[in-house]
Structure 1
Amino acid sequence: MFVNYNYDQDYRYREENYFAYAYNKEEDKLYTVPEQHGIIYRTTENYAHTGMFNLSYNYADLLHLKYTKLYTLHSESETRITDGIANSDDDWKIRYSLNWDERSMDIDQLSGDFKYRFLNYDNTLMFGTEWAKAKLNQPGNYKYAYLRDIRFDGVVQGEPYLDRFSPNVFLNLTSDDDLNALYIKNKTDISIFSKKDTFEIGMSHSKKSRKSRYNKFQIDQDQGEKLTENIDTIYDNNVRNNTDLFSVNIAFRPAYWYDAEVIENAVYLQCLLNPVDALEVNFGLRSVDFSQTLYEYTNNEDVLQPIEIKPNTLDFKKTLPNLSLKYTLNPKSQFDMAYSQTYIVPDLREFAGAEFFHPYDVATVKGNPDLVNTLIDTFDLKYSYFFSDTEGMKAGAFYKKLNKPIEDVMLRSSSLPRYGFDNAKEATIYGFEFDGRKELSFISDYLNGYFLSGNFTYANSDVTLRKEQEALYTTNHRQLQGLSKTILNLAFSYESDERSITLSYNKMGERIRRVGIIDGNDEFPDYYEVPPILLDAVWIENVSDNLKAKLKLKNILDRETIW
């Protein structure tokens, strides 16, 4: 039996400077003077509770049973103040966003295995089931804005006042997920070429349901004098005293609500063979039957039945192959080669037609009910050399073919920036990677317990748009959205029975945050992000067998993220 509880609390303050540049179409570059600029002040507080309970049973080493109970509760409070010029009106506003987010997850798992012999073959029957509930609750997020008056020469005049043309908005979101899943598989020792040869057959089933309710209420302000007091004073003077200056109106549409159901059934077989001592061959097939149905609430324009629930379904059936070869040159080195086919499906929010506020940017996000799944073919080649059981180095190359990859894109808008999702025609990713870990005692005995580790990845890609997208998005045959060309991780650590200390360094190359869009005569370039260099430190002190103390320092360099 094992019981664990963990509590974590985190507080962060961050300032962001933003600049928006117009696009010079004739010179194919951005103008050097920004059209819009400002500062974002962001404060977040995180609280997390995690509890886990494990109970296991072993009968004569033939039957093993394990039950796991996991519960997590994560709450986040965020205050975001954006002070500057933004949006299509080019007004200077102070935008306030007050958010509270609470997520919980309640999971029960039961798994086991049973060893038996059938027709002179040793078998292991493995099984498991899971029941899970996940809840997202945003009980009362609130947004409002104060307007600054600016003279023609750019000088700010007077005190900022509550902007009645940027309505106060109250947002409420609940999302409840239920998941039931099970698997059963049987592994047989077939001993065709060696005693390591096995044949495995199995099946899995999962069913997930979701109920999502997104409500939006707008507090409109009638004409009157400029209100320069803080928002609490304004409400206290005008709402509690019922001056009729404000009115509350429903601002959400039926499309903001949806129900969903995701069902995946799969059967598979896998075979592991060792034709010779140095060669291991692993191959198999997985047949998937996938169905994702979103039930969206829509206006029916019918007095007797004003709301209609319309289903939107994404389903496919596919047999996915995999093959891997491992050739051992000697006890310290080996070659690996692998091919596999996998898939990615759009997230339910990406697949829904509703529009919602972006959790971090001053923007809205709209789902795309026309999204389809992405099919990925992956080829890998890798060489590994092991200095010891805990030290080694690897070098490899890879190639991926993506059919209909999903990308984050910009959408046409006349006010707030709007983001969405779309399938490109195809994409390829190819590159190489290195990683390794080595104790530094070979330099000097004084460096016993000191380790240097790291990895580097270079990934080039090429995206091909669909024909109809070429007139919609700014660039074709470019890097895949969200993918950095280079990723470097380095770590210097000290490890002993009493403590471990790790200093880690991370650097990622620039990446496309969102794909640019063509809007009439205007071409908006791809929206890039330059991730910061991160330097973190972790100190873990083993006070006793049952007690550890941990100190974490994150983003020691305090570098900027640029996008």
Structure 2
Amino acid sequence: FAQGNSNPAIAQQIAGLTRSFNNNWEQYHESPFLNHSLSLSLGNQKELFGKPLGLIFATSYSRNFSAYSGGEYGIFELTGPVATTDNLTSQLELEENKGADEVLWGAMLSSSYKLSGNHKIGLTLMHNQSGALETRYLEGRKNRDDPDDLFVTRTWAYKQRSLSTGQLRGKHVLSGLNNFEISWQSSYSLSMQDEPDLRYFTMRQRPSGNYIIKLSSDNVPNRFYRNMEQYNFDNKLDFTLPFKQWSGQSSALKFGGAYVVRSREFRENRYTFNNQVFLVENGDPYAYFFDDNLIQATDGGFVKNPQTGNVEGVYVTNSFDPANNYDAQQYVTAAYGMVELPLSRKLRAIVGARMEQTIVRLKTFDTLVALMNFPFLDGEQDLLKETDILPSLNLNYDLTERMKLRLAYTRTLARPTFREVAPFASFDVDGGFLFIGNPNLERTLVDNVDFRWEFYPKPSEMISLSAFYKDFTNPIERTFNPQAPNTVLTFSNVAQASLYGAEVEVRKDLSFLGQFLSDFSLGANFSYVISETDIEADELALIRSLDPEAEGTREMFGQAPWVVNGLLSYKNEGGTQANLSFNMVGPRITVVTRGASPDYYQQPLPLMNFNVSQTFGNGFAVKASANNLLNGKYRETAEYKGEEYSIIQYELGRTFSLGLSYNLSK
């Protein structure tokens, strides 16, 4: 822009580029059509060269609309010592309206060819694609600056995703080698995500009634263009050698390997729209981009306002941020061996181990700030390189024919995702949380111990009791720093965490209550979990500077203290099926705050769904469903001194559906 003041050619180029963007900044309300979906599946078996060839084809299409109003979006922090501070300070309190329109379609073709009784190969091709249009309108108070202003921000987003997969597989049994079995699989998938025009428009309504764009604290209008491509190349080879152990019982030795490559390219372009005059007439973003409000240029350069002598009008600026562009690769090489071995007529053991080597590399396009802080983000050095041995032991003991005991120990791991390690900054609401990855993340190791008692009164019934323990090394958490200049959410490891708990599960038909209930069955399970994470010494010192009585541990990130599920089912010989399901998960941490500010929790959401279907002898079937019958709300909150503060809240709403299907084979 500065060059355009002295160079008419550049001035005309800026004016032309500004006008090249569509003025699609409108938001409006309308009643959508009903949610709807269609699906078709076909299958058959034919002979090819005298051998059986099985084919399955399926395709589906769905379109779903959703909206809510009166949602809440807030940020609160503790600004003083706990002893003398009675309330959290509001940084942001907004009311949200949101609408979404999502289309999903997919197709799948699967084939299986039986070369002989011992040799079979298969090929599966699949493509899924979705497009989601979303608009958001939020208004309220941004109390960290000018709390008397009405803060208004709008979002327009369209996101298209696709996943294409091809999988080739085979299974071969060598009868001459004691039925030695070889299974192999190779798959390639390409996933793409395109956000062609993500738009944000933020402004303030002053007490005078005027609408302005406030440069000192808010962003000017933004348009983002993002594209992500990732391919996965997944290969595995498994061998199984059956044998008889010392007492003649069937056993098996299994071993194999795998090699997985994931590669991602992420690109983002950002354009900002500046102005010398930041008034927004009537608070209308669409009118703000009228042609008369855009910067003007002629052969003589920028056109000036004759009254003020200043260059005025909206003009575009390329705000490309190299830190928001990256390439990433992950390589996983694995090998395993295990043996399934009966130790007696009642005791069976499965013992094995898996070796996994993980290499992660990431290249950022920011050659200044990012590489100064993270010099290993050059695409050549290993951001993460680990070789892990993951043992496992399973013991199954038959107390009786209908009663079993199971004891298991396993070690597993969880790797950080590309998004979690990439130094890429994004936000969902202008003025809200800013999400940034952490290249210093390490993988998580988990040691699991499970003990389970099972009783089967009938083949369709079960009663089980289980106890479990998990120990985590370097678990990953989503953390938040309210004192940061921007409200930054990132990811970090904690050194250690653990949990233990118990679960009870029951599946029972209700015929014992009377013949009239013989078609009913009941299923339920309940888990109770106690989890604990040590707070890092530096963080604990910061917390205790404001809250000297603070404990040195807290619950694990994302771990609920209890989970309850229930299912009441009905099925008769006339083709009628129905079920009523219930699910509820206890409060769990969604964001770990820094300092003494309370952590954010997702509160329990009771979900009750009902489904009923009826089949008819002519091949037709009718199905009806009702979801979220209790009309529960999604809620994230922070609690301080007995008072609850709303972070995120919105209604999910009830949904009702009616479907018709026809089976051609009937």
TM-score, reference length from structure 2 = 0.77
Secondary structure of the structure 2 residue equivalent to 1:276:
coil
User: Is the contact between residue 51 and residue 72 of structure 1 (CA under 8 Å) also seen in structure 2?
Assistant: yes
1:93 aligns with 2:151: yes
| Structure of higher CA gyration radius | 2
Describe the superposition over 1:438-486 as per-residue Cα deviations: whole angstroms up to 9, x where unpaired: 1212212222322211211111111113334434668741001111111
User: Is the contact between residue 214 and residue 278 of structure 2 (CA under 8 Å) also seen in structure 1?
Assistant: no
* Cα distance between partner residues in 2 of 1:52 and 1:271: 36
* Shift in alpha-carbon separation, 1:251–1:77, aligned structure 2, 3 A: same
Question: Could you tell me which residue of structure 2 aligns to residue 304 of structure 1?
Answer: none
Matched AA of 1:196: S
* Shift in alpha-carbon separation, 1:29–1:18, aligned structure 2, 3 A: farther
Question: Could you tell me which residue of structure 2 aligns to residue 516 of structure 1?
Answer: 593
Describe the superposition over 1:68-124 as per-residue Cα deviations: whole angstroms up to 9, x where unpaired: 1111112211111111113632443121111111111001111121111355x2211
More strand by share: 1
Describe the superposition over 1:388-445 as per-residue Cα deviations: whole angstroms up to 9, x where unpaired: 3332122101000000100000035555421000000100011011122212122122
* Shift in alpha-carbon separation, 1:414–1:167, aligned structure 2, 3 A: farther
Which moved further from structure 2: 140-149 or 425-434? 140-149
* Cα distance between partner residues in 2 of 1:162 and 1:52: 49
Which moved further from structure 2: 307-316 or 388-397? 307-316
Secondary structure of the structure 2 residue equivalent to 1:390:
coil
Listed as ranges, the matches of 1:269-418 within 5 Å are 269-300=337-368, 310-311=378-379, 313-358=383-428, 362-411=432-481, 414-418=484-488
* Shift in alpha-carbon separation, 1:226–1:318, aligned structure 2, 3 A: closer
* Cα distance between partner residues in 2 of 1:365 and 1:87: 21
1:265 to 319, 330, 333: 333
Deviation at 1:331, TM superposition (A): 1.8
1:44 aligns with 2:100: yes
* Cα distance between partner residues in 2 of 1:290 and 1:477: 31
* Cα distance between partner residues in 2 of 1:545 and 1:386: 37
User: Is the contact between residue 463 and residue 505 of structure 2 (CA under 8 Å) also seen in structure 1?
Assistant: yes
Matched AA of 1:68: T
Question: Could you tell me which residue of structure 1 aligns to residue 606 of structure 2?
Answer: 533
Secondary structure of the structure 2 residue equivalent to 1:482:
coil
* Shift in alpha-carbon separation, 1:250–1:240, aligned structure 2, 3 A: closer
Secondary structure of the structure 1 residue equivalent to 2:390:
strand
Deviation at 1:295, TM superposition (A): 1.2
1:125 to 163, 167, 182: 182
* Shift in alpha-carbon separation, 1:85–1:543, aligned structure 2, 3 A: farther
* Cα distance between partner residues in 1 of 2:108 and 2:68: 33
Deviation at 1:282, TM superposition (A): 0.3
Question: Could you tell me which residue of structure 1 aligns to residue 123 of structure 2?
Answer: 67
Listed as ranges, the matches of 1:392-541 within 5 Å are 392-411=462-481, 414-471=484-541, 476-496=552-572, 498-518=575-595, 523-541=596-614
* Shift in alpha-carbon separation, 1:199–1:225, aligned structure 2, 3 A: closer
Matched AA of 1:213: R
Question: Could you tell me which residue of structure 1 aligns to residue 658 of structure 2?
Answer: none
* Cα distance between partner residues in 1 of 2:103 and 2:95: 27
* Cα distance between partner residues in 2 of 1:496 and 1:249: 67
* Cα distance between partner residues in 2 of 1:542 and 1:73: 31
User: Is the contact between residue 212 and residue 278 of structure 2 (CA under 8 Å) also seen in structure 1?
Assistant: no
Deviation at 1:220, TM superposition (A): 1.7
User: Is the contact between residue 91 and residue 143 of structure 2 (CA under 8 Å) also seen in structure 1?
Assistant: no
User: Is the contact between residue 20 and residue 36 of structure 1 (CA under 8 Å) also seen in structure 2?
Assistant: yes
Question: Could you tell me which residue of structure 1 aligns to residue 281 of structure 2?
Answer: 227
1:158 aligns with 2:187: no
Deviation at 1:199, TM superposition (A): 0.3
* Cα distance between partner residues in 1 of 2:571 and 2:589: 38
Secondary structure of the structure 2 residue equivalent to 1:515:
strand
Secondary structure of the structure 2 residue equivalent to 1:245:
coil
Secondary structure of the structure 2 residue equivalent to 1:494:
strand
1:109 aligns with 2:167: yes
Deviation at 1:546, TM superposition (A): 6.5
Describe the superposition over 1:14-34 as per-residue Cα deviations: whole angstroms up to 9, x where unpaired: 232345555363348862896
User: Is the contact between residue 202 and residue 430 of structure 2 (CA under 8 Å) also seen in structure 1?
Assistant: no
Question: Could you tell me which residue of structure 2 aligns to residue 185 of structure 1?
Answer: 238
Describe the superposition over 1:295-319 as per-residue Cα deviations: whole angstroms up to 9, x where unpaired: 1112359xxxxx9971352010111
User: Is the contact between residue 170 and residue 185 of structure 2 (CA under 8 Å) also seen in structure 1?
Assistant: yes
* Cα distance between partner residues in 1 of 2:576 and 2:485: 55
Question: Could you tell me which residue of structure 1 aligns to residue 51 of structure 2?
Answer: none
User: Is the contact between residue 3 and residue 54 of structure 1 (CA under 8 Å) also seen in structure 2?
Assistant: yes
Describe the superposition over 1:481-515 as per-residue Cα deviations: whole angstroms up to 9, x where unpaired: 11111111112222246243222111111111111
Which moved further from structure 2: 193-202 or 402-411? 193-202
Which moved further from structure 2: 442-451 or 128-137? 442-451
* Shift in alpha-carbon separation, 1:293–1:277, aligned structure 2, 3 A: same
* Shift in alpha-carbon separation, 1:224–1:170, aligned structure 2, 3 A: closer
User: Is the contact between residue 194 and residue 274 of structure 1 (CA under 8 Å) also seen in structure 2?
Assistant: no
Listed as ranges, the matches of 1:241-256 within 5 Å are 242=296, 244-256=312-324
Deviation at 1:209, TM superposition (A): 0.6
Deviation at 1:249, TM superposition (A): 1.6
Instruction: Percent identity, please.
Output: 20
* Cα distance between partner residues in 2 of 1:101 and 1:227: 30
Number of residue pairs aligned between Structure 1 and Structure 2: 547
User: Is the contact between residue 189 and residue 195 of structure 1 (CA under 8 Å) also seen in structure 2?
Assistant: no
Deviation at 1:146, TM superposition (A): 3.0
Unpaired runs of 5+ residues, structure 1, are 151-156, 302-306
User: Is the contact between residue 88 and residue 416 of structure 1 (CA under 8 Å) also seen in structure 2?
Assistant: no
Matched AA of 2:577: S
* Shift in alpha-carbon separation, 1:111–1:443, aligned structure 2, 3 A: same
Which moved further from structure 2: 165-174 or 235-244? 235-244
- More relative contact order, 1 or 2 (CA 8 Å, 6+ apart): 2
Deviation at 1:141, TM superposition (A): 0.9
Unpaired runs of 5+ residues, structure 2, are 1-54, 297-302, 304-311, 370-374, 545-550, 637-666
Describe the superposition over 1:325-369 as per-residue Cα deviations: whole angstroms up to 9, x where unpaired: 011111211011000001111010101112112389932101000
Which moved further from structure 2: 431-440 or 474-483? 474-483
Question: Could you tell me which residue of structure 1 aligns to residue 14 of structure 2?
Answer: none
User: Is the contact between residue 505 and residue 534 of structure 1 (CA under 8 Å) also seen in structure 2?
Assistant: yes
* Cα distance between partner residues in 1 of 2:579 and 2:442: 42
User: Is the contact between residue 5 and residue 51 of structure 1 (CA under 8 Å) also seen in structure 2?
Assistant: yes
Which moved further from structure 2: 434-443 or 101-110? 434-443
* Shift in alpha-carbon separation, 1:278–1:105, aligned structure 2, 3 A: same
User: Is the contact between residue 298 and residue 308 of structure 1 (CA under 8 Å) also seen in structure 2?
Assistant: no
Question: Could you tell me which residue of structure 2 aligns to residue 207 of structure 1?
Answer: 261
* Shift in alpha-carbon separation, 1:112–1:360, aligned structure 2, 3 A: farther
Secondary structure of the structure 2 residue equivalent to 1:310:
coil
Secondary structure of the structure 2 residue equivalent to 1:172:
strand
Secondary structure of the structure 2 residue equivalent to 1:222:
coil
Secondary structure of the structure 2 residue equivalent to 1:350:
helix
* Cα distance between partner residues in 2 of 1:175 and 1:423: 26
Secondary structure of the structure 1 residue equivalent to 2:516:
helix
Question: Could you tell me which residue of structure 2 aligns to residue 154 of structure 1?
Answer: none
Deviation at 1:560, TM superposition (A): 2.1
